[in-house]
Amino acid sequence: MSSNATAWVPNNNASSAYVGDPPNTQRDWYIVRGLLRVAGMGDVDPAEGYTPAAAVKTPGDYSTKRPGVIVGLVIVLVTILGVTGARLTLRASVSQMRFGVDDWATIAAAGMALTYTTCQLIMAILGGGDHIWEHTYEQYNTFNYYGEIDKLIFYVTVALIKTSLTLFIRRLADRTSAKWRWFCDFFLFTLGVYIVGAIFWYCFTCSPPQSQWDKLYSGQMETPAVCLDTTMQSQVLNITHVLQGVILLSSPLIILWKVRMDVKKKLRLFFIWAVGLLAVLFGLMRMLKADFTSDITWSYTTLLVWTTLDVSVGTVVISLPVLDAWLADGARKAMTKMGRTTKGGGIGNSGYGNLERSGYATSKSLRTIGRQNTLQSGSRHYPDSADGIIDNKEDQVELGIMRTDEYSVRFTTAETASTKQGVVISSADARGL
């Protein structure tokens, strides 16, 4: 402790002092010294307190953003849990779907996204959205602790989100040329370098590392910690994050045209990629809105909005290709129900159409139907219900998404049941009946 601080006597039985006031406890004194060192004011006596420009209370100003911040973060938590849970439930409940490495990457990305949002929720509960002068040194130190930790969590989260999406794109690339597979492999390598680089760069920004996120620990050191410039660190990681997002979401536009897939499925994937571009835009806005005032607990909410949107939209986008089949099937069922008439339980012209009027199998003729020995020749039509990629060599399920085949076959009914011919119908036909 410096000689100037010996005249100051701590009152450890008192509560922590408010930011801008002289410290009450010994812990307050250490926190103030740690904050002053970060601000380049290490020679200032901590007994005078830490007084940023915004720490001067404005009379009658009791405004707060905290309730809105908390509600918004809770909605984000529920959204991430709901979408990711629906994806994993669909994988587990449908036997034709395969659990792949991209699902493991999605679990990791969603877990990190939940961790990031939870840390932000703790920051909001501890004073995020209020003015800095309304909080004590202890509260501000905890707020700063989670804020610094969340920086690293954010960079790892967005990299894992891109990893999951890249693994999905690689499945598409398996149906095209080897060059696209090599591109995906190289991009995965760059994402790995990004994650490792962000962790090492962040953890070794200061020596000792703990002084970066714990101002109490930093103030307890007799010699100030040695730290690198964090401005350059943030710029490099943020610019790389945005550029990787642009490259990743642009490449599938070319790959999709070369993949044998239902047209409607392609259009929905293009829409998903368009939603993904929003995440890139949010990342760009986050980079542009990274400036804070000295009233950081109040002004940080602008950056929080763009950062949270970047994380949450990205987490949702990586699950949409899997949920696409389920969403499309739900929409199809809803349209079919809307097409039903109230007369005799028949089927209207919408949906799958009126089978009886079109000359195809009716409910009466399907009662004793069996498997037809010979089917009408011609190429098979892979309907929208397929929702998957068709292998050129084997008609197997790709992308872990279930495919059903629909046949359009006429038949004639023999005079006796033993000579009746039957047809094979898909689950989509059965729903149309």
Co-location of 86 and 44 in the same domain: no
- Domain assignment present for 180: yes
- Domain assignment present for 390: no
**For residue 42, what are its two tokens?**
């290490």
Co-location of 267 and 190 in the same domain: yes
Q: Is 128 helix (H, G, I), strand (E, B) or coil?
A: strand
Whether 99 shows a pLDDT value over 80: the answer reads no
Whether 361 shows a pLDDT value over 90: the answer reads no
- Domain assignment present for 293: yes
Q: Which residue has the higher pLDDT, 70 or 351?
A: 70
Question: Helix %, strand %, coil % for the chain, to 5?
Answer: 60, 5, 35
Co-location of 96 and 211 in the same domain: yes
Co-location of 18 and 70 in the same domain: no
pLDDT digits (tens, 9 = 90+) for 15-45: 999 998 999 999 999 999 999 998 888 888 9
Q: pLDDT at position 197, please?
A: 94
Co-location of 311 and 226 in the same domain: yes
Whether 274 shows a pLDDT value over 50: the answer reads yes
pLDDT digits (tens, 9 = 90+) for 143-174: 999 999 999 999 999 999 999 989 988 887 77
Q: pLDDT at position 427, please?
A: 39
Whether 62 shows a pLDDT value over 80: the answer reads no
Co-location of 35 and 72 in the same domain: no
For residue 20, give its domain range.
3-51
- Domain assignment present for 100: yes
Domain count, the chain: 2
Co-location of 268 and 155 in the same domain: yes
Q: Is 96 helix (H, G, I), strand (E, B) or coil?
A: coil
Q: Kindly report the average pLDDT of the chain as a whole number.
A: 76
Per the document, the length of the chain is: 433
325 pLDDT tier (thresholds 50, 70, 90): low
* pTM of the complete model beyond 0.85: no
Q: pLDDT at position 58, please?
A: 67
Co-location of 283 and 134 in the same domain: yes
Q: pLDDT at position 169, please?
A: 83
How far is residue 48 from each of residues 8, 18, 120, 223, 328, measured CA to CA in Å? 9, 12, 30, 20, 64
Alpha helices in 95-229 (DSSP H): 101-125, 137-173, 178-203, 215-220
- Domain assignment present for 47: yes
CATH code of 200's domain: 1.20.1070
pLDDT digits (tens, 9 = 90+) for 117-129: 999 999 999 889 9
pLDDT digits (tens, 9 = 90+) for 310-323: 999 999 988 887 78
- Domain assignment present for 395: no
Nearest to 192 by CA among 233, 151, 159: 159
